[in-house]
A and B are shown apart, each in its own frame.
Chain A
Amino acid sequence: MTTQTNAPVVATGTTSSTTGRGRGPRTWIVSLLANGVTSVIGLMFLVPLLWVVFAAFDSQAGLRLELPSGSTFGLDNFRAVMTPETTYRPMWNGLVLCVGSAAIAIVVATLAAYPLSRFETRYKRPFLLTILFSTGLPITAIMVPVYGLFVQLNLIDTLGGTIAFMATTALPFSIFLTKNFMDGVPITLEEAAWTDGASSMQTLRHIVLPLMWPGLSVVLIFTFIGMWGNFFVPFVLLLSPDRLPASVSIFTFFGQYGSVQWGQLAAYSVLYTLPVVLLYVLLSRRLGGAFNFGGALKG
C-alpha cells in the first residue's frame, strides 16, 4: 500500500521539476501532521477500550482507568466469573442461538440465492428489491408485534422460536451477500452438467457450493458476529434466566447487585467479546485485510 501511494509522487517529481522542487518540506509537514492527527484520534478510541482490559486483571478495579499494580494484578476476576451460572451457561446459550440461527440463515439464503443468481425470471427484480428494502428496516421497531406473535404461537421463552426469528432478521443481508458471491462462479461449468442431465439442485451441491466456500464462510461468520452481539431480540423474546445468552445476562449481571464488581464485569466482558474478535480476525483474513464494502454498496 505504501509503495502504491508514493509511486505517483516520485513519477511527477522526475517528469516535471517545477512542481517537484517546492514539495519536499511541504509533503514532510503534511505527512507529519497526518500521522499526528491520526494517532491522536486512535488514542481517543483506545482509552475507553483500555479500561476493560486493565480492570479485568485488577481485583480492586473501579471505574477509573488504572494500571493494575503488583498485589491487585491477577486472574481473580476471571476465577470469580468462570462459574456455570455466570459464564458457561450464558455462553452456551449464546452459542446455541448463534450457531442455530446462522446455520438456518446460510442454508435458506444459499437455496434462495441460487435461482436469483442463475435464472432470469419476471419475479427476480421485484424480489431482489424487496430483499434490499428489508435490509434497511429497523428490526427494533417490529419487536413489539413479534412479541405479540410469539405469545400467540406459544413461542415466547423458547430457544427454537428465537433462533427462527434471528435467522429471519439475518436473511435479507445473507441472501444479498450470497447472491453476490454466487454471481462470481461462472455458469459455464453448470451448463455442461445440465446438458448431461443433472438437476439444478445437483449442480448447486456438486459444482457451485464447492467453488464458493470462501464466500459462504464469510456470510456465516458475518451472521454469527451479528447475532452474538444482538441484545434486543433475546432480551424481549427470552424470559427465563437459564435460557439467556451472554449478551443479555451481562446486563442482569449489572442490575442484580447493588455494588457492581467492576473487575468481574470487565473480566466477563473480555470473555464474552473474545469469540467475535477471533472471528473478525478470521473474516478479515479471508477478505484480504478489509471488508469489500465498495462492491457491496454498489448493489
Chain B
Amino acid sequence: MATVTRPGAPAGPGVRRRTHPVKVDIARALPLTPAIVLLLVFLAGPILWCVYAAFTNTALTGAGSGNTRFVGLDNFRAAFTSDAFANSVVLTLVFTLLSAVVGQNLLGLALALLQKRSVKVVRTLVGITVIGAWVIPEVVAGYLWYAFLAQDGTFNEFLGTFGLGQNWLYTLPIIAVSLANVWRGTAFSMLVYNAALSEIPAEIEEAAEMDGATGWRRLRWVTVPMIKRTVTTNLMLITLQTLSVFGLIYTMTKGGPGTKSQTLPLYMYEQAFSFSQIGYGTAIALVLLAVGAVFSILYMRLLRED
C-alpha cells in the first residue's frame, strides 16, 4: 500500500487509500458525467438560485418584476416578524411531531412488534392493508381522508352514535391532516422495524426471557437498545419526508380554513405562486432547505458512526 505523494494531494500518514494519477481518475469518472450534469443543472442550480433570490425582491408582478434588486435580509426579516410565517412554522412542527415522530414512528414500531406475535393470517392481512395505504398516490389518500372526515363522512357517522360528530376539517384541520399522514406513512416505519426486528438473534431474546425479563422490561432493555440505530435513522427519514408534504394537505384543506393547516410548504406555495412574491417565497424555501439540510447532516453523521 504505497502512497504516491503528489503536490496538492492530501497525503500523510493518515492516508492509506491507494491513489491513482489524476488522468486515470478522470477517465474512470467519465460515466458519471450525465449524472453530474443533471444534478448540477436541476438540483444544485436551483438551490444556488434559491440562495441568491432569497436576498432579492424578485416577483412575477409588481415592484420586483421590472427591476430586481438586492434587498439584503429584508425577506428574512419580513418572514421572522410575520405572524403568518410563525403560524406555519408552528403548524409544521406540530404536523411533523404528531404525524411522523409520534404517529408513524410509534405505530410502526408497535405494528412490527405486534405482528411478530400474531398468527400468519392476521400478520399478512394487516401488513397488506397498511402497505396498501402507503402505495396509493398522495392525492387519492387526500380524497379518501377528505371523505372520511367530512361533515357527512364515515367517521362522523360512527362518532355520531356517541354525539361527538363535527366537521373535523374545519374544527381541527391540523389534527385531521396529521391523522391522514399517519395513515399514509406508517407502512414505511413498519417495514423498517420489521426488517430490524428480524435481525435480532433469537438467542438474545431467549436469554433475556430465561433471566426472567418479560413484556415491557424485555422491550425496554433488550429489544429497543438493539434497534436503536434503526430508530434514529427511521426518525430522520420520516422527519424529512413529512417536512415536505404538500399534496396531501393541499387536497384535504388547501391549508385552510384560513391558515389553520398552512404548513411551510403550503405557505411557500401561496407566497410564491398565488401572490407572486418569488423572492419572499424562496426565502421561506431556504428556511425549509436549511431545516432539511440539518437533518441530512445528522443522518449522515449517524451513518458514519459505525
Contact = CB atoms under 8 A, between A and B. Distances in A.
Contact of B132 (A19, A37, A49): A49
Interface in A270-299: 272-273, 276-277, 280, 290-294, 297-299
A43 B131 CA distance: 13
B115 interface: yes
B257 interface: no
B34 A141 contact: no
Contacts of A231: 137-139, 246-247, 250
Interface of B: 9, 17-20, 24-25, 28-32, 34-36, 38-39, 41-43, 45-47, 49-50, 53, 58, 107, 110-111, 114-120, 122-123, 125-126, 129-133, 135-140, 143-145, 147-148, 150, 152-154, 157, 183, 186, 191-192, 194-196, 198-199, 202-203, 205-206, 209-210, 230, 233-234, 236-237, 240, 243-247, 250-251, 265, 268-269, 272-273, 278, 281-282, 285-286, 288-289, 292-293, 295-297, 299-300, 303, 306
Given A109-B35, A164-B38, A168-B39, A133 B300 contact: yes
A171 B49 contact: no
Contacts of A132: 300, 303
Interface residues of A, number: 101
Given A52-B140, A225-B135, A232-B246, A262 B114 contact: no
Given A31-B118, A49-B133, 12 more contacts: A7-B202, A38-B114, A48-B183, A64-B154, A107-B34, A149-B45, A149-B46, A168-B43, A225-B135, A228-B137, A277-B132, A293-B195
B289 A138 contact: yes
Interface string A125-144: 00101001110111111111
Contacts of A74: none
DSSP majority for the B interface? helix
B66 to A, nearest CB: 15
Contact of A297 (B233, B278, B293): B233
Contacts of B117: 5, 30-31, 34-35
B293 A137 contact: yes
B144 A112 contact: no
A294 B286 CA distance: 32
Nearest to A121: B25
B120 A48 contact: no
Given A137-B296, A149-B46, A273-B140, A64 B132 contact: no
A117 B268 CA distance: 39
Contacts of B125: 42
A138 B292 CA distance: 6
Interface of A: 1-2, 4-5, 7-8, 11-12, 16, 19, 30-31, 34-35, 37-39, 41-42, 45-49, 51-52, 55, 62-65, 107-109, 111-112, 114-116, 119-123, 127, 129, 132-134, 136-149, 164-165, 167-169, 171-172, 175, 200-201, 204, 225, 228-229, 231-232, 235-236, 247, 250-251, 254, 262, 265, 269, 272-273, 276-277, 280, 290-294, 297-299
30 contacts: A12-B210, A31-B117, A35-B117, A39-B126, A45-B130, A45-B133, A49-B133, A52-B144, A111-B31, A115-B31, A119-B28, A120-B17, A122-B9, A129-B300, A133-B300, A138-B240, A138-B244, A139-B244, A142-B289, A143-B269, A144-B273, A145-B46, A145-B282, A146-B46, A149-B42, A269-B140, A277-B132, A291-B191, A294-B198, A294-B230
A168 B31 contact: no
A136 B295 CA distance: 8
Given A16-B210, A132-B303, A145-B53, A121 B115 contact: no
B44 to A, nearest CB: 9
